[in-house]
Amino acid sequence: MVSDNAPVHTTVRAEFNPLIKPFLVLKIGVVMIATIVGIPLAIVWFLGVGQWWARHYFERLECQLGERSLRYRKGILVTTEKTIPLENIQDVTFIEGPILRRFNLSTLKFETAGHSAGQASDMQLTGIIDAQAFRAEIMRARDALRHAPRSAENDAHLAVLRSIEAKLDDIAGLLRARQ
């Protein structure tokens, strides 16, 4: 029988909305236009390079929720892969503004433990289909992992640590006796 609090034992793969391609083309093109130097580049970008780049970028987007972590991979020339342990996830914020809504997109922003204030949200995922449901699945998996009973492996590690502690106490006693 499986407990309701048991950790997730399957991998959930996020699907990305193809509308992220025109969104990225527009977003990067607007940044290029905002700089005087970037205007000629923006023309080339909008005439085809942007569509090529967005298509290949989309094909390489990948996000998987595993038993103990969330893994995200993106990039064409420079590939970025991040893995966040579920126990480090403090919050997952759902962001949806007017421009994102226009493209039927949203962003999930992850806040993790163990980072300085400037790096508190070290990962953002834009374009996941049904992002609210994926967010709920991440939070459920995190909570299940936090409330899961200790495993036999953890008990074995604890036994080894206690054995080491006993040996160190013996060594400390011998050192005190020599003095």
So what's the pLDDT on residue 31? 94
The answer to whether the beta carbons of residues 145 and 69 sit under 8 Å apart is no
Average pLDDT, 10 consecutive residues per value, the chain (179 residues) = 47 94 95 91 94 95 93 91 91 92 93 64 85 94 82 76 91 89
Number of domains in the chain: 2
Which residues have C-beta within 8 Å of that of residue 131, sequence separation ≥ 6?
Answer: 94, 106, 107, 108, 125
Q: Note whether 74 and 156 are same-domain residues.
A: no
Does residue 62 lie within any of the structural domains?
yes
Does residue 134 lie within any of the structural domains?
yes
* Residues forming a β-bridge with 62: 73
Its pTM stands at 0.71
Q: Note whether 141 and 158 are same-domain residues.
A: no
So what's the pLDDT on residue 6? 46
So what's the pLDDT on residue 47? 95
DSSP letter at 151 equals P
So what's the pLDDT on residue 147? 80
Enclosing domain of residue 74: 12-151
Left (φ > 0), alpha (ψ -120 to 50) or beta: where does 149 sit? Answer: beta
Does residue 4 lie within any of the structural domains?
no
